[in-house]
Amino acid sequence: MTSDDPTIINQEPATPVRVRRGTPQTFYDLTLDELTEKLGESGHPAYRARQLYHWAYQQLAPDYDTMTVLPKALRDDLANELPLTQLEPVQEIQTDDGETLKLLFRTHDGNHIETVLMFYPDRVTVCVSCQIGCAVGCSFCATGMMGLTRNLSTGEMVGQVVAAARRTQELDRQLTNIVMMGMGEPFQNYDSTMRMARILNDPEGMKFGARRITVSTSGLVPFIDRLAADPLQVKLAISLHAPTDQQRDTLVPLNRRWNVQELISACRRYVDTTGRRISFEYCLIRDVNDSEKTARELARLLKGLLCHVNIIPLNPTPAEPSYERPTEDQIKRFADIVDDSGIPTSVRYSRGVDIAAACGQLRIEHEGGTEPATT
Ligand code: SAH
Ligand code: SF4
């Protein structure tokens, strides 16, 4: 990205950058077509690429050696040229009586990636990171306070899902949903994020239904339009957090680039084009965006839009120590006003608060930075 890129809000990373330019390409970076082409250049038939996809994404093979039906020479070549690199696990923490599992991985250049697995009775969701840190700098977010170190590669994102699927299988469950709600802003790493979705959606691979993949954004308007035009029908979540510019400017700095009206207009275009419902995420903060007046403004703003509102009571972080979670009564009152106005609304508590599983907190703890928040 260049320095005049309008999507970059906070150019200076808050933490020292430890990046080796370019993440080495791995098997998990390639779409099936690209793999077929690559193998074809060395004279291998197309069915070999499909076999490799089956082994990697359906059998979740951890290395080429286990793919015993494939010729040894091919496996050796691939191990050298296109390694099936697994993310290196550093730490795993369980919480919520084992219903939340936080995985921390080390990258090739010594950074850390957080991935969270959430087990529900009817589904298992993995929360995937798309960047190390984030440039948007929302005032309540632990990841935002780190600044951006670098984008994750497609392979590093696919690798998180593969590791999560394997871990889920070990626990006799099956991974059913992917949410891009870990560290980072997916629309500042759009191409790699959509490539990840395409690879996981491939019928020869993991066959992950596009509608089981949710991309969450803080509001980069041009990419909402790009997503609307994309044939892959992934779901969209918008981190709205406030119905007025005055409030949203302080919570999501990106709002000064694309304001609330521009954002909601893009959402209306998205729904008109795709017919798909949008989820609005609303982090509820005491005395900041939780008044009854604000609830009525939110309801008015979203009137007539095919959507659902998820109220997420703030998970306090060191990013802004003065922010507090509202009381249960305040949370309920706010949600009821929006819901009663005809906009379907739920209250969702962050999982894994006691192990600092919210956005970015464990990585900060691990790298010796600010202490994680507790509630
Ligand atoms: N960058 C993207 C996706 C990652 S954040 C985005 O902002 O949408 C995923 C969600 O967690 C967002 O809705 C974000 O606003 C929310 N979030 C971040 N920090 C939080 C906190 N401290 N308490 C509650 N929700 C938080
Ligand atoms: Fe970045 Fe999302 Fe955190 Fe905002 S909430 S700083 S966009 S990760």
Query: Kindly report the CA angle at 252 between 188 and 255, in degrees rounded to 5?
Result: 80
Residue 198 contacts residue 205 (beta carbons within 8 Å): no
- Ligand 2, atom 6, residue with closest C-alpha: 144
Confidence at residue 372, expressed as pLDDT on a 0 to 100 scale: 27
Tell whether ligand 1 has an atom less than 6 A from the beta carbon of residue 152: no
CA-to-CA distance for 181 and 199, rounded, in angstroms? Answer: 19
What does the mean pLDDT of the chain come to?
Answer: 89
One-letter-per-residue 3-state SS of the chain: CCCCCCCCCCCCCCCCCCCCCCCCCCHHHCCHHHHHHHHHHCCCCHHHHHHHHHHHHHCCCCCHHHCCCCCHHHHHHHHHHCCCCCCEEEEEEEECCCCEEEEEEECCCCCEEEEEEEECCCCEEEECCCEEECCCCCCCCCCHHHCEEEECCHHHHHHHHHHHHHHHHHCCCCCCEEEECCCCCHHHCHHHHHHHHHHHHCCCCCCCCHHHEEEEECCCHHHHHHHHHCCCCCEEEEECCCCCHHHHHHHCHHHHCCCHHHHHHHHHHHHHHHCCCEEEEEEECCCCCCCHHHHHHHHHHHCCCCEEEEEEECCCCCCCCCCCCCCHHHHHHHHHHHHHCCCCEEECCCCCHHHCCCCCHHHHHHCCCCCCCCC
Cα of 359 to ligand 1 centre, how many Å? 6
Tokens for 222, please give them. 């041009």
Q: What is the pLDDT of residue 350?
A: 77
Q: How far is the CA of 139 from the centre of ligand 2 (A)?
A: 9
Question: Which class for 164: exposed (0-12), middle (13-18), buried (19 or more C-beta within 10 A)?
Answer: buried
The predicted structure's pLDDT at residue 352: 65
Q: Ligand 1 pocket, 312 CB below 6 A?
A: yes
Structure confidence at residue 96 (pLDDT): 81
Q: Which residues line ligand 2 (CB under 6 A)?
A: 134, 136-138, 141, 143-144, 184-185, 218, 239, 359
Q: Is the CB of 78 under 6 A from ligand 1?
A: no
Kindly report the CATH number that applies to the domain delimited by 88-366. 3.20.20.70
User: Distance between CA 63 and CA 78 in Å, rounded?
Assistant: 10
pLDDT at residue 21, rounded to an integer: 58
In the chain, domain spans? 88-366
Task: State the pLDDT at residue 98.
Answer: 80
Atom of ligand 2 nearest to the CA of 184: 8
Name the stretches of the chain with pLDDT < 70. 1-21, 352-375
Asked if 39 and 82 count as a contact pair (C-beta separation under 8 A), the reply is no
pLDDT at residue 7, rounded to an integer: 34
Which residues make beta-bridge pairs with 106? Answer: 88, 112
Nearest ligand atom owner, CA of 132: 2
| φ and ψ at residue 269, rounded to 5 degrees | -60, -40
Total-model pTM: 0.90
The residue nearest atom 5 of ligand 1, judged by CA position, is 181
Structure-token match 């020479």, residue found: 73
